[in-house]
Amino acid sequence: MNACKYGAKKVTCLDISEHAIESARDNVALNGFEDRVEFVVDDAFQYLRSQVKGAEERQLRAGGKTDKVDTSKAMTAGIGRTWDVVILDPPAFAKTKSAVKGACRGYKDINLHGMKLVNEGGFLVTASCSYHMRPDLFLETIQEAAADAGKILRLVEWRAAGKDHPQILGVDEGHYLKFAIFEVRSKTAL
Range of the domain at 119: 82-190
Q: Is 45 a domain residue?
A: no
Q: Is 66 a domain residue?
A: no
Neighbours of 29 (CB within 10 A): 11
Q: Which residues pair with 14 in a beta bridge?
A: 40
H/E segment holding residue 127: strand 118-128
- The answer, yes or no, to whether residue 34 has pLDDT greater than 60, is yes
pTM > 0.85? yes
* Closest to 80 (Cα-Cα) out of 116, 104, 112, 107: 116
Looking at per-residue pLDDT, the higher value among 137 and 74 belongs to 137
- The answer, yes or no, to whether residue 188 has pLDDT greater than 80, is yes
Tally the domains of the chain. 1
* Closest to 56 (Cα-Cα) out of 117, 109, 12: 117
Least-confidence region, from 55-59, 74-78, 182-186: 74-78
Neighbours of 52 (CB within 10 A): 20
Least-confidence region, from 10-14, 119-123, 165-169: 165-169
CATH code for position 176 = 3.40.50.150
Q: Is 125 a domain residue?
A: yes
Whether 129 is catalytic is yes
Q: Is 25 a domain residue?
A: no
Q: Is 11 a domain residue?
A: no
